[in-house]
Amino acid sequence: MSFDNLLLLHGKGGSPEGSVKDIEALLRSHYPQKPVSSFQRPRLLHADGEILAEQSLDELQKRDIPNGTLVIGVSLGGLLAAKLQEQGREDLRVICLNSPTWADAVRLERRMPERIAFYSSNDNVIAGRTQHWPRLATAFDLPWLTHDTSAHAPELAPLILAYLEGRNIAHAIQQVEERIGQAERRLRDSSGVS
């Protein structure tokens, strides 16, 4: 699956200079032939943590998002992208990272074919708001994932690429988890802890 336009949406209280910038950098290194203009990281209303999700969704609906855009949203950004998809933008392909299925008055209601979610039911920031992902998207509950998306960008990038390239995502997750396990063993071995 290729993309001409990639829209990266930050989380509540976040900014275009946060975790979405880290995700963009990893994807741009994999797609060096894509023009810089293919990647967009707008500042959304919910950068102000006091703004309600529905207010930010209203603003997002007014943006001129090209048909077929790939949208990667972190936390609230993912929820809003998925809701926009439900509200008549079925052309969007949405990847939700660490996103809840509801916030404030915005709640996902139906499964969409071009929606995927990577989250952790152990994530205390979105706790109690992830249990419906399996019925709303192709969903992967990753126990090692925390709400610090920037810290996990190197592990998330291969999963995003597997999806974009039509490869087996479960296999990509297995490979990432093997690397995590190897890194943890090396760390234990170097510190002498068993």
For the chain, which domains are there?
Answer: 6-165 (3.40.50.1820)
pTM: 0.94
pLDDT of residue 193: 61
pLDDT(43) > 90? yes
Beta partners for residue 40, in sequence order: 7
- Tally Cβ neighbours within 10 Å of residue 63: 11
**pLDDT tens digits along 134-187:** 999 999 999 999 999 999 999 999 999 999 999 999 999 999 999 999 988 888
For range 78-89, the mean pLDDT = 97
DSSP string, 11-72: -TT--TTSHHHHHHHHHHHH-TTS-GGGEE-PPPGGGSTTS-HHHHHHHHHTS-PPTT-EEE
For range 105-112, the mean pLDDT = 97
As a whole number of angstroms, the distance between CA 36 and CA 50 comes to 32
Phi-psi region of 128 (alpha: psi -120 to 50; beta: other; left: phi over 0): left
pLDDT of residue 3: 87
* Angstrom distances, CA of residue 174 to CA of 10, 89, 132, 180, 185: 27, 32, 23, 10, 16
Mean pLDDT of the chain: 95
* Low-confidence winner among 30-39, 46-55, 92-101, 105-114 (lowest mean pLDDT): 30-39
Q: By three-state DSSP, how is residue 96 classified?
A: strand
